[in-house]
Every structure is written in structure tokens, then in C-alpha cells.
């Protein structure tokens, strides 16, 4: 068993640790997947009301950022006229700001404006589509792309060049996990583990003094020593083909990547950043040099013929206990 440890322990959280607390588990549905929360509390009887509040928070994020919901703010932006500015609420603004930052760092390997290509390859609300030819892919690329957006951070508004389609499925679930953890902290629950569709955020520790342990998933048939993460003040997100099939797209080419990557896990300070970086790493590998400024802690599994090779980035190696 390999153990990944946080680079920093939060002394304020340690001071508030309660070994007599109970653990409450809540969950539900959101963003076409499941959410789950475990948190420490002295009053487990409030769980039903807290679960309802968390579900309402997640429902609001769907209304803002779903590309499946025609009435969502994202869908309305996608339909907006050329030259229109759309004012964004704080959640949507935070996701766009980080998405555009990662897009710039990765030279578009992560792209929040890839909606046309997602639909073209049959991964959007329209469902399965015929395999597109090169001409159709070129048209899809030309119609979208993060460089056609203008982001006014001061006014929190986004400009529509005309026909640009956002798709935030590579970052929104990570943000949702952050938002739920933040909401729990606001309610006084600073020790929790939150999962939204496989993206996880951990705060504080368990009542028994252990961290919130999370085992990184390994694809079936791949023989690797387990890797367990002490998720204290950190987040982990994954990207890969082994569970959902070949849904990955390289926004730069418009086609699925051919680098052999079958799974990526990224550990970062927030779920939102880990989510976006997992996508970027899966596309950029083996050349991750553009991401060097943010020192990405990643485990990458690459299929080479009949063999799966595990690559750990140096920042992740430095976290192994």
C-alpha cells in the first residue's frame, strides 16, 4: 500500500477535532450522477434537513451550468446572439475563470467551449451520432473554442462571439464538490468528505483521528500496488476511458486522443482545479511541460500494447509517505 500525504496539516482544523462526534452519511442525484457526503457532527438528527439543503445547492448549480437542461443559464448563453454579454452568478463565474485559466495553461487541451464537438461525437444531449468526418470536425472546431470567448472578470460577464457552445462537464462536478464542502463548513461541519460523480474533496479528519482515506481506482485487469490518499484539505479527480468508454476529445484536433492514456488522477487544492487538470493531463500526455507552473500531482496510466505503465509526476512522488 502506497500512501499519499497532504503537504500541510491545518492546525485550526486539528484544534476543532471532536473524537466524540458521530459520522452522518447523505447522498442523492445530481448532474446525471450521484453525490455522497460523510461528515462529523455531535447532532446527527439534523441530517435530513442538511441533506435537503445540500440537494438544493446542487440543483441550483445544475440550473446554472447544465448543458443538458435547455433552460439553464449555460444553454441560454449558448443560444445568445453574437456580441451579447451574459452576467454570471458567482458559481458560474468561478468555474469560467478557472476553466479559462487551465485552457490558457494547457494551450486548449482543456477547453470549456467544446460543446459543438461534444455533440458532434454523440456525447451530448442529442445522444449517439454517426462518426463525424474530418470536414465536420473542422466545422465544429471553428464554431467553438475558448479563444472565441471574452471574459470580463471585474463585471463577471461573458461575451458570446456567435455560436460558441460551452460544455463544463470536465470541471463542474469538481466545483460542485467544493461548493458542498464549503456549504457544510458554513453550517459548522468542518470535517467532511464530499463526492460528486467520482470527484472528491476532503476537509478536516474523521472523529477517530484518521484522515478521510480515499483509494485511487485502478482499471479492472491492471495489477498495481494500491494508492491511498489522505484527503485532508485536498481534492482528487479522475479522467479516463476504462469506465465510460472513449468519451475523451482533444479540443485542439477535434478527435479522440491517441496517446494510450486510460486513466488519470490529479490531486489539487480544490475539486474544480483537480477536475480540469485531470482532463488536461489526459490530453497533453506525454508532454506536460505547459503545466509546469502549477506543479500537477498526477498518476497517469498508459496502455502500451498489452502492458499498462504507471507514471507519477514529481509533485505526486513528493507526497508519498
Give the residue ranges of the annotated binding site for Mg(2+).
170, 275, 279
Closest CA to 67 of 87, 85, 89, 92: 92
State the chain's maximal CA–CA distance in angstroms.
63
The binding site consists of 170, 275, 279
Cell 485487469 locates to 221
Contact 27, 217 (CB under 8 A): no
Helix H or strand E segment including 295: none
Number of H helices, E strands in the chain: 9, 14
Cell 464530499 locates to 194
User: In angstroms, rounded to a whole number, what is the distance separating the alpha carbons of residues 241 and 260?
Assistant: 10
Q: How many CB atoms lie within 10 A of CB 255?
A: 16
Residue 220 CB-density burial (10 A; 0-12 exposed, 13-18 middle, 19+ buried): exposed
Sheet holding 85-87, edge to edge: 85-87, 157-159, 150-152
Cell 474533496 locates to 201
Amino acid at each position: 500500500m502506497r500512501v499519499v500525504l497532504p503537504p500541510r496539516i491545518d492546525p485550526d482544523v486539528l484544534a476543532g477535532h471532536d473524537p466524540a462526534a458521530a459520522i452522518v452519511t447523505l447522498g442523492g442525484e445530481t448532474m446525471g450522477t450521484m453525490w455522497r457526503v460523510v461528515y462529523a457532527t455531535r447532532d446527527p438528527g439534523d441530517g435530513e434537513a442538511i441533506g435537503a439543503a445540500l440537494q438544493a445547492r446542487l440543483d441550483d448549480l445544475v440550473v446554472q451550468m447544465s448543458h443538458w437542461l435547455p433552460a439553464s443559464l449555460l444553454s441560454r448563453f449558448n443560444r445568445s446572439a453574437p456580441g451579447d454579454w451574459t452576467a454570471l452568478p458567482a458559481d458560474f463565474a468561478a468555474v469560467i475563470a478557472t476553466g479559462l485559466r487551465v485552457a490558457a495553461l494547457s494551450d486548449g487541451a482543456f477547453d470549456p467551449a467544446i460543446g459543438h464537438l461534444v455533440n458532434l461525437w454523440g456525447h451530448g444531449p442529442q445522444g449517439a451520432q454517426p462518426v463525424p468526418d474530418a470536414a465536420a470536425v473542422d466545422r465544429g472546431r471553428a464554431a467553438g473554442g475558448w479563444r472565441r470567448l471574452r471574459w470580463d472578470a471585474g463585471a463577471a460577464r461573458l461575451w458570446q462571439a456567435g455560436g460558441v457552445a460551452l460544455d463544463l462537464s470536465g470541471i463542474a462536478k469538481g466545483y460542485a464538490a467544493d461548493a458542498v464542502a464549503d456549504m457544510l463548513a458554513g453550517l459548522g461541519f468542518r470535517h467532511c468528505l464530499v463526492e460528486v460523480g467520482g470527484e472528491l474533496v476532503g476537509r478536516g479528519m474523521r472523529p477517530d483521528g484518521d484522515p478521510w482515506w480515499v483509494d485511487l481506482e485502478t482499471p479492472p485487469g491492471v495489477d498495481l500496488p494500491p494508492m491511498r490518499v489522505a484527503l485532508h484539505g485536498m481534492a482528487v479527480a479522475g479522467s479516463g476511458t476504462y469506465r465510460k468508454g472513449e468519451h475523451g476529445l482533444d479540443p485542439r484536433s477535434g478527435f479522440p486522443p491517441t496517446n494510450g492514456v486510460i486513466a488519470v488522477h490529479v490531486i489539487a487544492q480544490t475539486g474544480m482545479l483537480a477536475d480540469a487538470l485531470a482532463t488536461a493531463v489526459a490530453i497533453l500526455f506525454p508532454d506536460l511541460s505547459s503545466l509546469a507552473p502549477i506543479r500537477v500531482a498526477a498518476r497517469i496510466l498508459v496502455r502500451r500494447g498489452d502492458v499498462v505503465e504507471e507514471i507519477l509526476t514529481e509533485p505526486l512522488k513528493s507526497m508519498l509517505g
